[in-house]
Structure 1
C-alpha cells in the first residue's frame, strides 16, 4: 500500500496547482456557467414574442441542434437530466420490480431515476482508467447470478437467481465526461437481453471511437444544469435513434396528452417534463459555443497535466487514446491506499487556498435509501472514491492560465 501524501507534499501540491491558474484571482469555483454568446438576444426574443413556456421555435431548434451534435436522429428536451433518465427508462419498458444495473460510482440522479420508475438499482463496479462500468467484471458476475427465463419480444430474458427479478437494463455513466468502454458493454447487454440507457449527463461533446457518446444505447440522457458544460438553467434531454422511442418519450413527457384541438385526453400516466422555450433559447446560444468551450477545457486539462508532471503519487484523470473527453470536470487521482481522512486533508488545503475542489460523490450503496440494494463486489469503486478530487474546470481559466 502506498503511503499518503505528507504535509510537505500537500503544501507543494497546492502551490503547484495554484501557480498554474490565473494570477490575481483569489477564488476559483469548481465550475461556473459562462454566457458569452447570443444568450441575451435569444432569451429577449422569447420575452418579446411571449413564447416562454413548453412550446416555441427554440425548443424545436434546440432539439434538432442537439440531435445533429450528438449523432442521433431524435432529441427530446426535458426539464432536467433526472427527468430525461426517468422518461427513457419508462419508454424502453422498465416496469416495477425490474432490476437495472447502475454504477456505484455515479451521481445520485442515476439511481433515483431507476427508483422513480419503480425498479431496483443493482450496483456494479468501475474500472480505474475511465471510472466507467468494469465490463469484464460485470460479465463474470452475470455468469454467476443470471439465469435464462425464456424469450421476449426483443431477445432472451434473464433473471437474477438470487432475487427472481428480471434483469431489464444497464445504465452506464460517462464520469466527468470521460467515455466509458461502451462497445463491450453493448455486446454484453445484447447477450443478456438487456437494454442500454446511457447516462451521458456530463459528457456532451465527448466521443468514443470517434462516435459521440449518447448514441450507443437505445436511449440516453443529457443534463444542462447550471454547472454543466453548457446550461439551460435547468434542463436535460433524451437522445435516441428510434422513432418509436422518441414518440413514446415525447408523449410521456407531455402529460401523455393525445393530440386534439381542444380536448384534454390523456391515455396513460404522464409527466410534465417538457423544457420551456425560454430555457431552450438559452441552450441554443450555449450550444453554439460548445466546440470552442471544449477546446479551452482541453487546454486547461493540459495545464494541469503539465503542472503535475513528475509529482509523485498524483495524476490527472484522462481519457484513453480511443476516446475524447469534453473535460467537463478535471480530476486528480491520489495514490492507491489513500483514506478518506487523507483525501480530506488535501481537500481542506486546496479549499483554504481558494481552489473550490470536491471529492467524487458518495457511492450509491453507502446512501441510506440504497443500502439494501443488490450489488456486486465494489472494491474498485470504494478505493477510487478515496482518491479522486475534482479541480476548478471553468473553460475561461484556460484563456489566462499559466504554465507551471
Structure 2
C-alpha cells in the first residue's frame, strides 16, 4: 500500500501523469544568451572568457583556492589523482558503494582500488572502517610512505565520495590521512553546494573533483572541475589538462604527456548561467527533501536525511527499503507507472573488473546495496 501511495504522492508533487524522470536540468536563466554569445564570438572551444569566469565563480562559491575546469568529472578525478602522486601499482583507498568512475580513474593510472565500508548515516566512506583497515594492513616505512603489509604496495591516496550530495565525516578522514601520510582526494562530483560544518565539500583534500554532467545539480552539458588548495597545483593541473603545451607565441612544444581535458567555452557559458541560479536550486531541492521526509515518516521506508552538522544539496533523494523484496517491488511498480526510481550502484567488487580488489569488511555497503533507492529529485516546489 505504501508503494501505491508513494507513486500517487510523486505524481501529485510533479502535477503530471506523464513520465517523471529521476533528475533533469532546469534552464530558466541566461543559458541561451550566454551560449549564443560564445557562438557569436566564435570562441566555442577551450579558449574563451566563460571558462575563466566559470572557474572564478566556482572559487568564490566553494572557497577553494583555485578551480580548473575539465571536460568531465572523471577527467577531473583522474588529474587529481595524478597530481597527488599516484603511480602505477600504487593503492588508492575508496568506498565500495560508489559510481564506477571513481574506481575507473584509479585504474587509468595503473593503480589498484582498495574498498572500505560506508556509514549508514552518510552513505559515504566510514572513517572507522578506514582506520580499521589501515591498522590491520598499513605500516609506515623509513621514508614515511604508508604501505600494505601483505602486498608491499604504497597507499598513495584516499578517495571518499560525498554520496548523493551528503557529506562524509570529512574532518575525521582528513585526520586519518594526515596521520598515515596519505593524500586526501575528495570525489565531490555530486556535492556542489553541500557543506560540512559550514565549509564546502571539496575543500578539505589537497584536490577534489566536481561534475557538471546533465544530471547534476547544475550542468555544463559535460564538464568537471579540479579544486586545488594551492596556486602551484592549479598551474600544474591546467598544464596537464591542456596537452602539456609550453607557452609560446606560435611554436607547438609539449614537455610531457598531457591530456586534452579542458572544458570548452561553450560548456562554460552554460555553467555560468546555471551557477547564477545555484542557490535557488539548492533551496528548492531542500524543500523537496522536506516534502518527501514528511511523507515517508509514516511509512516503513526510511528517507535519507543530511548528516549531523552538514547542509546537503540533496542532489538525489534516497530512501532505504525494509528489505530487498520491498525494494524490488518499489522498482517494478514505479517503473510500470512511469515514475523513474533507481537502485543503488552495484558495489565495486560485484563488477567483473574489480571483483579481485583488496577490501575490508563491507557489511553496511552490502546491506545498503539491496535496500537503497533513489527517487525523483528534480526541484519543483
Taking structure 2 as the reference length, the TM-score comes to 0.98
Could you list the per-position Cα deviations for residues 373-396 of structure 1 after superposition, in whole angstroms to 9, with x for gaps in the alignment? Answer: 11111111010111111011011x
5+ residue gaps in structure 2?
Answer: none
- Superposed displacement of residue 352, structure 1: 1.6
Q: Does 1:10 align with 2:3?
A: yes
Residue among 217, 224, 230 paired with 2:212:
224
Contact 2:292-2:303 within 8 A present in 1 as well: yes
* DSSP-derived class of the 2:227 partner: strand
Q: Tell me, in whole angstroms, the C-alpha distance in 1 between the residues paired with 2:50 and 2:123.
A: 35
- Superposed displacement of residue 44, structure 1: 0.6
Alignment of 1:244-263 (within 5 A): 244-263=232-251
Q: Does 1:394 align with 2:378?
A: yes
Q: Does 1:323 align with 2:314?
A: no
Provide the alpha-carbon RMSD of the alignment.
1.2
- Superposed displacement of residue 140, structure 1: 1.5
Aligned to 1:91: 83
Aligned to 2:361: 377
- Superposed displacement of residue 307, structure 1: 1.2
Aligned to 1:5: none
Aligned to 2:172: 184
Aligned to 1:294: 282
Q: Tell me, in whole angstroms, the C-alpha distance in 1 between the residues paired with 2:36 and 2:129.
A: 51
- Superposed displacement of residue 128, structure 1: 0.4
Q: Tell me, in whole angstroms, the C-alpha distance in 1 between the residues paired with 2:23 and 2:7.
A: 18
Contact 1:92-1:245 within 8 A present in 2 as well: no
Contact 1:17-1:307 within 8 A present in 2 as well: no
* DSSP-derived class of the 2:328 partner: helix
Q: Which moved more, 1:27-36 or 1:77-86?
A: 27-36
Could you list the per-position Cα deviations for residues 207-230 of structure 1 after superposition, in whole angstroms to 9, with x for gaps in the alignment? Answer: 000000010000000000000000
- Superposed displacement of residue 11, structure 1: 3.2
Aligned to 2:65: 73
Q: Tell me, in whole angstroms, the C-alpha distance in 2 between the residues paired with 1:16 and 1:315.
A: 16
Could you list the per-position Cα deviations for residues 149-193 of structure 1 after superposition, in whole angstroms to 9, with x for gaps in the alignment? Answer: 123xxxx31111121100110001000000011000000000110
Q: Which moved more, 1:351-360 or 1:103-112?
A: 351-360
Q: Does 1:356 align with 2:356?
A: no
- Superposed displacement of residue 267, structure 1: 1.2
- Superposed displacement of residue 25, structure 1: 3.8
Per the alignment, do residues 9 and 41 of structure 1 end up closer, same or farther by CA in structure 2, a change over 3 Å counting? closer
- Superposed displacement of residue 71, structure 1: 0.7
Structure 1: which 4+ aligned runs deviate by more than 6 Å?
Answer: none
Q: Tell me, in whole angstroms, the C-alpha distance in 1 between the residues paired with 2:295 and 2:333.
A: 17
Q: Tell me, in whole angstroms, the C-alpha distance in 2 between the residues paired with 1:268 and 1:248.
A: 12
Alignment of 1:243-282 (within 5 A): 243-282=231-270
- Superposed displacement of residue 18, structure 1: 4.0
* DSSP-derived class of the 1:150 partner: coil
5+ residue gaps in structure 1?
Answer: 1-7, 399-404
Contact 2:116-2:133 within 8 A present in 1 as well: no
Q: Does 1:166 align with 2:140?
A: no
Residue among 5, 28, 32 paired with 2:24:
32
Contact 2:192-2:201 within 8 A present in 1 as well: yes
Taking structure 1 as the reference length, the TM-score comes to 0.92
Alignment of 1:207-218 (within 5 A): 207-218=195-206
- Superposed displacement of residue 342, structure 1: 4.0
Q: Does 1:134 align with 2:126?
A: yes
- How many pairs align? 381
Contact 2:11-2:17 within 8 A present in 1 as well: no
* DSSP-derived class of the 1:232 partner: coil
Q: Tell me, in whole angstroms, the C-alpha distance in 1 between the residues paired with 2:41 and 2:61.
A: 27
